[in-house]
């Protein structure tokens, strides 16, 4: 078993990334390794380029994202942690896979449609091709499991199609079908200001998301001011069905507490948000505060974080090189 996943360094790690992806990365680091498998996690700096990012910030963000991931529990001695740029095989395989993926497949990708918006002609080719690089990221290592939030599931289905078409067209059994692992507890954490949109780095309102770099007072304030409704919490989870804000806050509480929405509702049934939101704020500060503090300590020595990524990249290149070579040979390239 081999687990592979990535995160873009396009801003700070937020609660959605943490609960939807990184918390699963940490859990899998233990589970999969106990079963003799490997875990590879990377900072997707090449995917970061698909959104405009000041070159002066990209490098710093990459180190900060790596420090946050380590602070959240990824151990660079046990998992292979690196940034995509330092493993050139990702870009090389992506080019090969570009000749297997079909335009019609990419045209169906909802993330591209959302991100490009109305100005499709003005979108970069990189944004359009994003899912093919993502396919290369996982196929390069023959990933069996890919822990991601719900929004990335479609991209992984595309990776499966690309793997199957490559194997079929070139009559090889080279690529493994990766299985997306979407967190059951937190598949899609929504904005704290509007539960119709997901929590994201690109939301212009800072109040919409909790960042892992936020100080305790900021975290607590964002939860106290989170949009909710005037009703008390219901007796059953079914009672949250038409209350998206309430449902999101209960989901966040359950995911942070390693509990379930049923248990949270059992504890808070009949209570109003005047009680629930401060309790959630306390829980969030108690859970996220220590991660932030560890991250800040790691950032006292940024060069050391960069060295850790370098060592990870060396191991990743060793795993990636034979797959790339096999793909090049299968396609008839002279290498
Ligand atoms: P990124 O940086 O946008 O997101 C990183 C991870 O966080 C998840 N996520 C969420 N989960 C729940 N609720 C939310 N509101 C929320 N927002 C984000 C994302 O689903 C993702 O798992 N394309 C990837 C990066 C990537 C990648 C890969 C992942 C590049 N190559 C190969 C897996 C395998 C992304 O969305 O990054």
pLDDT value at residue 109: 98
pLDDT tens for each residue of 301-319: 999 999 999 999 999 999 9
The per-residue DSSP string of 9-59 comes to -SS--BHHHIIIIIHHHHHHHHHHHHTT-EEEEEE-HHHHTTS---HHHHH
Identify the three-state secondary structure at position 334.
coil
Q: Does ligand 1 lie within 6 Å of residue 20's CB atom? A: yes
Determine whether the shortest distance from the Cβ of 40 to ligand 1 is under 6 A.
no
User: Is it the case that residue 233 has pLDDT exceeding 90?
Assistant: yes
Confirm whether 23 is a catalytic residue: no
For residue range 41-50, list pLDDT tens digits in order: 999 999 999 9
Q: What is the CATH number that goes with domain 2-188+301-331?
A: 3.40.50.620
User: How far is it, in rounded angstroms, from Cα 219 to Cα 89?
Assistant: 39
| pLDDT category of residue 228 using cuts at 50, 70 and 90 | very high
State mean pLDDT over 276-287: 98
pLDDT digits (tens, 9 = 90+) for 97-126: 999 999 999 999 999 999 999 999 999 999
Q: What pLDDT band is residue 57 in, cutting at 50, 70 and 90?
A: very high
Contacts of 7 (CB under 8 A, 6+ apart): 13, 17, 21, 22, 41, 42, 43, 44, 65, 69
> Candidates 7, 46, 90, 252: which one to mutate for ligand 1, based on the most atoms within 8 Å of Cβ?
7
Residue with tokens 């990870």: 312
Looking at per-residue pLDDT, the higher value among 12 and 213 belongs to 213
High-pLDDT (> 70) share of the chain, %? 100
pLDDT tens profile 183-206: 999 999 999 999 999 999 888 899
Q: Decide if 222 is catalytic.
A: no
Contacts of 226 (CB under 8 A, 6+ apart): 192, 193, 245, 249, 277
Residue 115 a catalytic site member: yes
What pTM did the predictor assign?
A: 0.97
Q: Is the pLDDT of residue 58 over 90?
A: yes
Alpha-helical segments (H) within the chain: 15-17, 23-34, 45-48, 55-71, 89-98, 103-107, 110-116, 125-139, 153-169, 216-224, 244-256, 261-268, 273-298, 302-331
206-296: CATH topology: Tyrosyl-Transfer RNA Synthetase (1.10.240)
Atom of ligand 1 nearest to the CA of 44: 30
Model confidence band, residue 79 (pLDDT cutoffs 50, 70, 90)? very high
What pLDDT does 85 receive? 98
Q: How far, in Å, from the CA of 301 to the mean position of ligand 1?
A: 27
Domain boundaries, the chain: 2-188+301-331, 206-296
């Amino acid at each position: 078993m081999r687990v592979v996943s990535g995160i873009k360094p396009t801003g700070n790690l937020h609660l959605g990334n943490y609960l939807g992806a990184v918390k699963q990365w940490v859990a899998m680091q233990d589970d999969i390794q106990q079963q003799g498998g490997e875990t590879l996690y990377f900072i997707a700096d090449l995917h970061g380029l698909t959104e405009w990012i000041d070159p002066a910030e990209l490098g710093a963000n990459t180190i900060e994202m790596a420090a946050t991931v380590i602070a959240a529990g990824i151990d660079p001695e046990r998992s292979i942690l690196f940034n995509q740029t330092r493993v050139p095989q990702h870009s090389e395989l992506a080019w090969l896979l570009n000749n297997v993926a079909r335009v019609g497949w990419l045209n169906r990708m909802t993330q591209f449609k959302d991100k490009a918006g109305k100005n499709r002609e003005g979108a970069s080719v990189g944004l359009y091709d994003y899912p093919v690089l993502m396919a290369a990221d996982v196929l390069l290592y023959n990933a069996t499991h890919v822990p991601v939030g719900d929004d990335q599931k479609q991209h992984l289905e595309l990776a499966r199609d690309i793997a199957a078409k490559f194997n079929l067209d070139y009559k090889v059994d080279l690529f493994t079908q990766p299985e997306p692992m979407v967190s059951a507890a937190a598949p899609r954490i929504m904005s704290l200001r509007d539960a119709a949109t997901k929590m994201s780095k690109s939301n212009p309102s800072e109040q919409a998301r909790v960042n892992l770099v936020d100080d305790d007072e900021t975290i607590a304030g964002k939860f106290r001011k989170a949009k909710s409704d005037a009703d008390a919490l219901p007796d059953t989870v079914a009672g949250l069905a038409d209350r998206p804000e309430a449902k999101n806050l209960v989901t966040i509480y359950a995911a942070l507490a390693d509990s379930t929405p049923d248990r949270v509702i059992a504890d808070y049934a009949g209570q109003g948000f005047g009680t629930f939101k401060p309790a959630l704020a306390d829980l969030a500060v108690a859970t996220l505060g220590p991660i932030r503090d560890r991250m800040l300590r790691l950032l006292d020595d940024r060069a050391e974080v960069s060295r850790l990524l370098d060592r990870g990249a060396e191991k990743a290149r060793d795993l990636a090189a034979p797959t790339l070579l096999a793909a090049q040979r299968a396609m008839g390239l002279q290498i």
